[in-house]
A and B are shown apart, each in its own frame.
Chain A
Amino acid sequence: MIKFLIKGLLRDRSRSLFPVLTVSSGVFLAVVLYSFMNGVIADMINSTARYQTGHVKVMTQAYAEESNQMPNDLALTGINEITQTLKDNYPDMIWTARIKFGGLLDIPDEKGETKDQGPVTGLAVDLFSPSSPEWDLLRIEKSIIRGRIPVERGEILIGDEFAGKLDIAPGDTATLISSTMFGSMAIYNFKIAGTVRFGISAMDRGAILADIADIQEALDMQDTAGELLGYFPDNIYNDEKAAEIAASFNRQFKDPDDRFSPIMRTLPVESGLSDYIAMIDSMGVIIVSIFIAAMSIVLWNSGLMGSLRRYGEIGVRLAVGENKTHIYKTLILESLFIGIFGSVIGTAAGTGVSYLMQIYGIDYGYLMKNSSMMISNVYRAKVSTGSFFIGFIPGIVSTVLGASIAGTGIYRRQTASLFKELEV
């Protein structure tokens, strides 16, 4: 019987082609939408983790309260010892100290007079230690647009767009005017080693990347850093594990009575992305629900049309002695074949397109000129295990559901007038 049904499906394109196209289109859209949203949000989380929060972040409690103001006067002191403690206690994590700072970047002309000047935010990271993880974390080498990577103290990288605005090039000098952690004025000369594209509009427009030792010297922050960031070695955020590490650290080191005692926060807490991350979890459910509902309605309609078209065939089958339940089952079995076939095609096409979008991405930088969010300019999809199921299972479920609803018409079919009906 199964062979008989498959032959019917293969030969009667109106029985199979439209439903297969409908299912595969729906599955394709669901997979691409899911992968794209997954990619954009994962990218946002990665960018936020890479530049702002790490997967976990250690600060003083006072710094944590005002962290958006980059309050380096509240930074962690004895950073080398704390780093070593973290490495000892959590050897599976990558730990790195950073200082965020702000100020003015002054560009002198050949006479040393100010040629141009602009507000700047800066990120100080370990550029020169042999074991520094920052090159990989920030993908510094891949981000160079002009010039080269810094090779010695006193050299910085500057956002390419920012460099254009200030009309400076690699080899030029730039002076950072800021304040030390004790509140006095800090002036420090840097040489531009190269320009970079951070890939985040907010940073491309006005950020520099400097060595942490230079900034510690410039801002009078010896053995001090604003933040100590921890990353999972595979660079994939694991909320459960991060929360466990943070809780264990805070139990051991956090002192509620001491504002300068360290506190560890996880990425969602620190970035305010917790709701977003919760949304990602529910996103799959939302997509699947909408998809199943919409597709079931379409396929229900398609099933009804099919039933009308196959009215004669079903009449003959009833007359020949096939009972209604058997016919109903065969219609559902047919829909199962269509669902599987359509879902395989839709999933294959959807993951294929998503994979291409993962590799090449879509550059929306021109739309984000004024954005201050830590979102990558290039939107990429992310093909994950979920991509293979998000459309496949609902594709089958909706096809079978649509056929099940449409097929109930069989039970309303009266055999009493079959002879008359089949004379048409």
Chain B
Amino acid sequence: MPAPSKNNLYLGLFTLSFALILLTVWIPMDTQTGLIEKVRRQVTIGDALAPTVAGLFLIVGGLLLILTERNAPGQSTSSMSGLIFASAAIFIIAASLIVMRWTGPLAVWMVNALQGGDLEYRLLRDNAPWKYLGFLLGGTMMISGLVGLVEGQLRLRAILIAVAAVIAMIFVYDVPFDDLLLPPNGDV
């Protein structure tokens, strides 16, 4: 019979460590009022009490995990390949968001550099086609990248599907509404 997984034990120890740091370091150093405060002779609950209760939930959960569930059957089996997939997926999403954020301003900068104009993306962020550039490119990169990651290769079909999906989203969230801004046009 295989030895039971130790994942619950490790998770319990990690939770307990995190909760102790929360209760002894983070809460005392990062809240201005204690558990109970006395203001003008009136006693009130301070800002530290609520996160302390959260910490107590973590302590009890961590202890129970170590004491009663450390050898429980059906524990998760973590694997390196899972970690690799998750890292790759998060990298694709984060890179796509960065592309989404900077494509529009970069395109304006390039047009200015080529044509000598003084356009500002901030002033163009509600005008087509400028307002769609970042969302279209970043969104296409996100969808096709994730599809490609699962399929093991990036195919033209995935890119075309991604473009169609992003255009459909533009028609859902932007075209019918004057007051909605697609990412990243609220920030620039």
Q: Do A and B bind each other?
A: no
Residues of B within 8 A of A (CB): none
A residues at B contact (CB < 8 Å): none
